[in-house]
Structure 1
């Protein structure tokens, strides 16, 4: 290469000649050692500030599209989940056997009779039995017994563990052994305040709508109750996740099962015919109104000579 063939490159560029053709390369900035150290400390990632304006806008658009896509998927998945829960709950509650129907109708009649009769409460005399859960359960149970059902009051109680706090619950059940011997006994659980057992404060609207589909008075076999508990506990877990709230252990599946499906003590109140449960118990526990010191001694001891004594 001769000296004539060499040209003075422009400032900030480098010119080279090869086979009588000129090539011009832009002068690239040389990175300093401090820049290299900073680059390695950042993990080799290029900071957003070093991107050009067009590149930055492209990156923001891509990120926004990704967030919108994820949000759209979450909304669709949530909608599909709640629709499925409603369908499952409807399928479980709509099915009913003849035994469940007979016990359900008898329970409704017993509740209607207790509420319209104005029976006083055995716990608080100024309260009606229909407003006291303990007395209401006892009155309904007695009337189911009179209707020919093997009804009893059940009290479940469980100890605390690493995954579940202790607790207790009272409800009713009816054991029907009129079926064929091969099927054995059929246990039907009766809960007079079923819907309130699943209410959650500050729950999402989807969960509230699902709870409103529950019957106020549940009368169903153990298998049906297991299905309802499974559906509602899964819905409660989804609700707590969407609301970003902690799910208490008393809302979990194991705790709700322990209420109705755990070990329990079964007591059947035996009441004579013609007497209500509250009336019978109150009569049996009634204390004498008069003390032994208030007896009329004039009538009982009329022939005995009595001397007046002054009490100081």
Structure 2
């Protein structure tokens, strides 16, 4: 539910979205110094020069303030991602194996309404079934919310595992999003925002509390990015909208077994955990390498 559209486009967004890079990126420092040189050439008045000095101090302060903001966001993001629990580690390993098995075979979708270049629904269903087969209480979750003055209506589908192996902790909810990074990518984003998003794993597997912390960081960064570029923040980018995707009320659905045509082949060399990217493998549901989940 997160296609990046033009600002005046439809308010309803799908969860698959691609980023368009911008080739024109100006250096803030060059802009500041260029403005000062132009002012000195146009006027030799000492009072005007004092004004330019004041503006330079203010711009330098804003530059340092923005730099500190993005550095803090990146550090907080990495700290949140790298913390993990034993149950998250186990589910991450099981999901990695499920994806590896799925990608080791040539899978051809035989749905009644197949999607061109592959079917993400089939991938979600197959991963869910494989997790169920190894003993996890996994289900497809479909969240759906109505429009409000703040956000438009929408819906989203992801995987969820409920674990109650530790009675003291109660039921632990672990969210599995197979296309996590793309949910936050934006066209025309700033270099700082794109760098922050590049730190995200393509496949997210973590507790709902951890996901909530990440959403807060990323939505704050998106708001800052749009403010710096003097652009409107789309309602589908807001904190409430992102929360509704994964942290709102959802319907748990046990996946039915659908036929898939398999053509088994020898496993290929594993890709590095740092280079694995489902954006390259999902569209055609053909994996060039076995995958490692970050």
Is TM-score (shorter-chain normalized) higher than 0.5?
yes
| Match of residue 150 from structure 1 | 137
Deviations, residues 242-294 of structure 1 (Å, cap 9, x unaligned): 111100110010000000001100011255xxxxx4349xxxxxxxxxxxxxx
Written as runs of structure 1 = structure 2, the 5 A alignment for 1:17-36 is none
Written as runs of structure 1 = structure 2, the 5 A alignment for 1:231-270 is 231-269=217-255
Two-structure CA RMSD over aligned residues (Å): 2.0
* Greater Cα offset, 224-233 or 115-124: 115-124
1:112 deviation in Å? Answer: 1.4
Structure 1: how far apart are the matches of 2:46 and 2:170? 70
| Match of residue 107 from structure 1 | 95
Structure 2 gaps, min length 5: 1-42, 262-294
Structure 1 gaps, min length 5: 1-54, 272-276, 281-312
1:116 deviation in Å? Answer: 1.7
| Match of residue 55 from structure 2 | 67
Q: Normalized against structure 1, the TM-score is what?
A: 0.67
The answer to which structure has the higher helix fraction is 1
**Aligned residues between the structures:** 219
Larger Rg: 1
Q: Normalized against structure 2, the TM-score is what?
A: 0.71
Is the contact between residue 111 and residue 259 of structure 2 (CA under 8 Å) also seen in structure 1? Answer: no
1:131 deviation in Å? Answer: 2.9
| Match of residue 78 from structure 1 | 66
| Match of residue 286 from structure 2 | none
Written as runs of structure 1 = structure 2, the 5 A alignment for 1:86-97 is 86-97=74-85
Structure 2: how far apart are the matches of 1:278 and 1:151? 20
1:182 deviation in Å? Answer: 2.6
SS state at 2:206 partner: strand
